[in-house]
Amino acid sequence: MSKAVEVFSLLTDFDIELFRAGKHFRLYEKLGSQTIYLDGRQGVYFAVWAPNAQVVSVVGNFNGWNPHSHPLNVRWDGSGIWEGVIFGIEMGEVYKYHIQSFSGSHVEKSDPFALMTEIPPHTASIVSTTWYQWNDEKWMRHRNVNNSLNSPISVYEMHIGSWIRDPNDPERLLSYREVAEKLVPYIKNLGFTHVELMPIMEHPYYPSWGYQVTGYYAASSRYGSPQDLMFLIEQLHKNEIGVLLDWVPSHFPGDDHGLRNFDGTSLYEHEDPRKGFHPDWKSYIFNYGRNEVRSFLISNALFWLDRYHVDGIRVDAVASMLYLDYSREEGQWIPNEFGGRENLEAVHFLKELNEAVYANYPEVQMIAEESTSWPGVSRPTFSNGLGFGMKWMMGWMHDTLNYFKEDPINRKFHHDKLTFSTVYAFHENFMLPLSHDEVVYGKQSLIYKMPGDEWQKFANLRALYLYMFTFSGTKLLFMGGEFGQTSEWNVNQSLDWHLLDYAPHKGMHQYIKQLNEIYKSEPALYEKAFSGDGFEWLEYGDNDNSVLAFIRKGFIPSSDVIIALNLTPIVRQDYRIGVPESGNWEVIFNSDDISFFGSGMETPNAKSEQIPWMHKANSIKINLPPLGGLILKKTT
């Protein structure tokens, strides 16, 4: 007679050694629920890390949630892993781990390695698989070029549940497959190179936007199965669109079924709240000094790159990880061993994370949302950097938005907000973000941050976008910004797609499409995106007229372009600009074009004169449109 739980293990002695050393980065192949064949029978192998448990059992509908029916076997090696095979369970079975701790407490926990969960508010794990017949070989073979730091990267950031809803039932969330049908042609038409999905890992509280994760290995069941998400990613890949995922290794919520107090002790989090509790988000901070926790997290990053073919990971809230005193008052934090505020364990984790990712997937990008001046975030670990590929340029974002909020009559007093960023622009590989954080909680939508009447608001926003797309660095724009969404983002409803019926919004939509097109077609706008060699000011001191002019440079001098911005509603006739070479300079892009809801002011091409200007031997005179800008390129 067979036992309820058969003794079996997928783990080798080497697996255990790696796990305990914090060096096992493929734990998802070993832990969780794995369908196996043993002695000619199909069963499910369960394995869970709970070193301080007295008893661990698998409970579910299959045994009436009886904690005494299917106890797992604890390994003999002191690893704290409980495991075993249960026959008669099939795909789709719901389960949890019933854990009795040495203190006598009893808890039911979701599987930290579950590939799928019940749809919230239900919390059970589901026996599932990430098997999928992928059909994106062409993209995967060539994505090293598409993800290269020398290639154009224009990212459309989106929340999958509020991008679009069913018009006939606005409360219903569309599935991954339904979203794919609408999103893929939309992004392809607009010309974005990548989509960034706000966290789609399972989270119990929908208004958290996905940033309070309980199921790190489970794609949210709100939108379908793992294979449905894979279909969405595959369709994007087949249309030459990369996929980035938001990822949250900085903290996790305290829900009873989640990671907190997992085996009756602070297993994943620090026990001391001065290191283990986040005061802002009322959540729990991972113990980065624990080897097994680092294995859990690094395995999770590689899991999404491996099983879901994603092209990069944007790591959320890096600053909160780096500083022990982040958002804490004196006496609420513990200094490191040298008496400093740096979280040395988190620094070690981030370096190890990036080394592991780039060693296994050198063609992807790791991107840090880091809001301080921590040095070397996007520099290699061998030169004492954190090892990310890119970092969000938060200072640029704040300064730029603060400038454009000003009435144009006052902008001459704030000119340095746009020029200061070049002081540090090349210290990191920066991505310029206009993200979801800027259009919520009373901050207003981007279009309503702009001063003036309706025409001026749209002209200002077009000028801001031109500045963003031509400034050094890669680009990120949150959904709705591409057509001038008027209301703040609301996670509980669709974007206001009806606005595209109106000329200003339709013009903005066309404008973003054309901006993406020229960004991708002009090498000077992306080839030296992170090098001072790719940027040169021509005019940065004309405060009185609020005019800026600069050169963007590519690998070949003939590809260089000039950008000129007039950030007042006053037309600047015959404005003189120095040019690097004599010849004819063609206006190849005009933010004031009538097709963009601009005024359509004439800006004829210009022939250079031998009049020294702006430290150049030659110069041109050009008409600068109101609240607008031009891109010029030498033709002959």
Position of tokens 């070479």?
A: 581
pLDDT one-digit tens code per residue, 246-266? 999 999 999 999 999 999 999
Euclidean distance between CA atoms 166 and 391, whole angstroms? 35
- Distance (Å, rounded) from C-alpha 476 to C-alpha 195? 9
Question: Quick one: DSSP state of residue 52?
Answer: T
Contact residues for 186 (Cβ-Cβ < 8 A; gap 6+):
none
Amino acid in the structure at residue 253: P
pLDDT digits (tens, 9 = 90+) for 534-589: 999 999 999 999 999 999 999 999 999 999 999 999 999 999 999 999 999 999 99
Residue 245 corresponds to which tokens in the numbers above? 């995922």
For residues 195 and 452, what is the distance between their CA atoms, to the nearest angstrom? 32
**Cα-based distances in Å from 322 to 154, 260, 325, 537:** 28, 21, 9, 34
CA geometry: angle 381, 385, 388, nearest 5 deg: 85
pTM for this entry? 0.96
Query: pLDDT above 70 covers what percent of the chain?
Result: 100
Weakest-pLDDT range from 78-82, 167-171, 191-195, 537-541: 167-171
Contact in structure between 630 and 587 (CB atoms under 8 Å): yes
* Counts for the chain of helices (H) and strands (E), in that order: 13, 28
Count Cβ atoms below 10 Å from residue 599 Cβ, excluding itself: 17
The Cα diameter of the chain in Å comes to 98
Mean pLDDT over 445-474 rounds to: 97
The separation between the first and the last C-alpha atoms of the chain, rounded to the nearest angstrom, is: 89
Query: 196, 202, 316, 370: which is the annotated catalytic residue?
Result: 316
DSSP strand E in 27-79: where? 32-38, 41-49, 53-60, 73-74
Pairing of strands 430-434, 390-392: parallel
Residue range 159-184: mean pLDDT, rounded: 95
Helix (H) or strand (E) holding 190: helix 176-190
SS3 30: coil
What residues pair up with 98 in beta bridges, in sequence order?
57, 108
Q: What CA–CA distance (Å, rounded) separates 48 from 62?
A: 19
* Domains of the chain: residue spans and CATH: 13-127 (2.60.40.10), 532-634 (2.60.40.1180)
Catalytic residue among 196, 311, 369, 592: 369
What one-letter code names the amino acid at 317?
A
Q: What are all long-range contacts of 182-188, with beta carbons under 8 Å and residues at least 24 apart?
A: 183/158, 183/232, 183/236, 184/235, 184/236, 184/239, 184/241, 185/239, 187/156, 187/236, 187/239, 187/241, 188/239, 188/240, 188/241
Residue 260, token pair as written in the block: 């907190």
Name 62's Cβ contacts closer than 8 Å, sequence gap at least 6.
86, 88, 89, 93, 95
Average pLDDT over residues 468-494: 97
Instruction: Establish whether 316 is a catalytic residue.
Output: yes
Reported confidence tier of residue 602, pLDDT bands at 50, 70, 90? confident
Please answer whether residues 408 and 394 qualify as being in contact, where contact means their C-beta atoms are separated by less than 8 angstroms: no
Where helices occur in 406-557 by DSSP H, the ranges are: 416-419, 446-449, 454-470, 503-521
Structure tokens at 529: 């995106």
Answer whether 347's CB lies under 8 Å from 377's CB.
Answer: no
DSSP 94: E
d(CA 201, CA 136): 22
Residue that is written with structure tokens 């007042």 in the block: 568
Q: Are 415 and 546 in contact (CB under 8 A)?
A: yes
Confidence of residue 242 (pLDDT cuts 50, 70, 90): very high
Residue with tokens 């018009």: 167
Query: What pLDDT, on a 0 to 100 scale, did the predictor assign at position 3?
Result: 78
Q: Each residue of 88-114: pLDDT tens digit?
A: 999 999 999 999 998 889 999 999 999
Could you count the other beta carbons within 10 Å of the beta carbon of residue 271? 11
The residue to which tokens 């097109």 are assigned: 517
DSSP state, 63? G
- The Cα–Cα gap between 285 and 577 comes to 53
355 torsion bin: left (phi>0), alpha (psi -120 to 50), beta (else): alpha
Q: Is the peptide bond before 121 cis (omega within 30 degrees of 0)?
A: yes
Answer whether residue 1 shows pLDDT above 50.
no
DSSP code per residue over 408-452: GGGGGGSTHHHHGGGGTTTSS-EEEEE-GGGGSTTS--HHHHS-S
Q: How many CB atoms lie within 10 A of CB 147?
A: 21
Structure tokens at 72: 């797992």
Higher pLDDT, residue 222 or 281: 222
Q: How confident is the model at residue 2 (pLDDT cuts 50, 70, 90)?
A: low
What are 336-366's pLDDT values in tens digits?
A: 999 999 999 999 999 999 999 999 999 999 9
Residue 145 has φ and ψ, to the nearest 5°, of -75, -45
Four-point Cα dihedral 485, 487, 490, 496, nearest 10? -50
Residue 369 falls in the annotated catalytic set: yes
* Distance in angstroms (rounded) separating the CA atoms of residues 528 and 551: 12
Nearest-angstrom CA–CA distance, 210 and 157 = 14
What would the two tokens of residue 52 be?
């301080």
Q: Which helix (H) or strand (E) holds 629?
A: strand 628-634
Up-side HSE of residue 174: CA atoms within 13 Å toward CB? 22
Are 85 and 36 in contact, with CB atoms under 8 Å apart?
yes
Distance between CA atoms of 332 and 273, rounded to whole angstroms?
A: 9
If you average pLDDT over residues 400-416, what whole number do you get? 97
Q: Is 353 helix (H, G, I), strand (E, B) or coil?
A: helix
39 — pLDDT class (breaks 50, 70, 90) = confident
Helix (H) or strand (E) holding 379: none
Output the six-digit token pair for 549: 């002019």
